[in-house]
Amino acid sequence: MGIENIVLNLVIVIALLPLLSFVLLLFLGRFLPGRGGPVATALVGASFAASLYVLFQVLTRGNVASSMVWHVAGSARFTLGLLVDELTVFMLVVVTSISFVIHLYSIGYMHREKRLSWYFAVLSLFTAAMLSLVIADNYLQLYISWELVGLCSYLLIGFWFEKKSASDAAKKAFIVTRLGDVGLSLGIILIYVSTGSFIFSEVFQQAEGLSMTLVTAITLLLFCGAAGKSAQFPLHVWLPDAMEGPTPVNALVDAATKIGAGVYLVARNFPLFELSAFSTGTVVWIGAISALMAATMAMVMTDIKRVLAYSTVSQVGYMMVALGTGGYFAGIFHLMTHAFSKALLFLGSGSIIQAAHVQDITQAGGLYRRMKITAITFILGALSISGLPLFSGFWSSDQILRDVYNYNFIIYVILTFTSILTAFYMSRLVFLTFFGRKGDKAEYAHESPPVMSIPLILLAIPTVLVGFIGSPFLPEAYRFFTLFAPESFGVRQVEANYAVMGGPIAADLAGILLAYLIYQRNLRPQDWLARYLGPYYKVLLHKYYFDEIYLFLIVRPVLRLSDFIGRFDLAVIDRVVNWVGDSGLRFASAIGIFDLGVIDGIVNWVGDTMLDNSSRFRLSQTGYTLNYLLFFFAAVALLVLWIQFA
CB of 362 to other proteins, least distance (A): 31
Pick the closer one to other proteins by CB: 16 or 144.
Answer: 144
CB of 191 to other proteins, least distance (A): 11
Beta carbons of 313 and 250 less than 8 angstroms apart:
no
Pick the closer one to other proteins by CB: 186 or 390.
Answer: 186
CB of 73 to other proteins, least distance (A): 4
Q: Which residues of the shown chain bind other proteins in the complex (CB under 8 A)?
A: 26, 70-76, 78, 115, 140, 143-144, 147-148, 151, 154-155, 158, 161-162, 166-167, 170-171, 174-175, 178-179, 181-182, 185-186, 189, 192-193, 558-559, 561-563, 565-567, 594, 599, 606, 620-622, 624-625, 627-629, 631-632, 635-636, 639-640, 642-644, 646
Q: Which residue type occupies 360?
A: D
CA dihedral (239, 245, 246, 251) in degrees, to 10, reads: -10
Structural Rg of the chain based on CA atoms: 29
Shortest CA distance to 420 belongs to which of 494, 510, 534, 349?
A: 510
Pick the closer one to other proteins by CB: 399 or 627.
Answer: 627
Exposed e or buried b for every residue in 363-374, given b needs 16+ CB within 10 A?
Answer: bbbbbbebbebb
Q: The dihedral of CA 358, 359, 364, 365: what is its sign?
A: positive
Pick the closer one to other proteins by CB: 206 or 497.
Answer: 206
The 3-state DSSP composition of the chain as helix, strand, coil percent (nearest 5) reads 80, 5, 20
CB of 219 to other proteins, least distance (A): 18
CB of 164 to other proteins, least distance (A): 9
Pick the closer one to other proteins by CB: 80 or 533.
Answer: 80
Pick the closer one to other proteins by CB: 182 or 465.
Answer: 182
Going from the C-alpha of 22 to that of each of 11, 36, 44, 99, 367, the distances in angstroms are: 18, 10, 11, 14, 37
Pick the closer one to other proteins by CB: 49 or 561.
Answer: 561
Pick the closer one to other proteins by CB: 243 or 421.
Answer: 243
Pick the closer one to other proteins by CB: 169 or 375.
Answer: 169
Pick the closer one to other proteins by CB: 532 or 594.
Answer: 594
Beta carbons of 378 and 345 less than 8 angstroms apart:
yes
Instruction: For residues 80 and 77, give the distance between their C-alpha atoms in angstroms, rounded to a whole number.
Output: 10
CA dihedral (505, 510, 515, 521) in degrees, to 10, reads: 120
CB of 630 to other proteins, least distance (A): 10
Going from the C-alpha of 188 to that of each of 204, 231, 277, 642, the distances in angstroms are: 13, 20, 20, 35
CB of 216 to other proteins, least distance (A): 18
Instruction: For residues 595 and 572, give the distance between their C-alpha atoms in angstroms, rounded to a whole number.
Output: 29
DSSP string over 544-577:
GGHHHHHIIIIIHHHHHHHHHHHH--HHHHHHHH
DSSP string over 505-544:
HHHHHHHHHHHIIIIIS-SS-TTHHHHHHTHHHHHHHTGG
CB of 595 to other proteins, least distance (A): 8
What backbone phi and psi angles, to 5 degrees, belong to 303? -85, 125
Q: Which residue type occupies 342?
A: K
Pick the closer one to other proteins by CB: 535 or 597.
Answer: 597
CB of 563 to other proteins, least distance (A): 5
Burial of 395 (0-12, 13-18, 19+ CB in 10 A): buried
Pick the closer one to other proteins by CB: 112 or 164.
Answer: 164
CB of 422 to other proteins, least distance (A): 34
Beta carbons of 178 and 150 less than 8 angstroms apart:
yes
Instruction: For residues 174 and 151, give the distance between their C-alpha atoms in angstroms, rounded to a whole number.
Output: 7
CB of 528 to other proteins, least distance (A): 41
CB of 635 to other proteins, least distance (A): 4
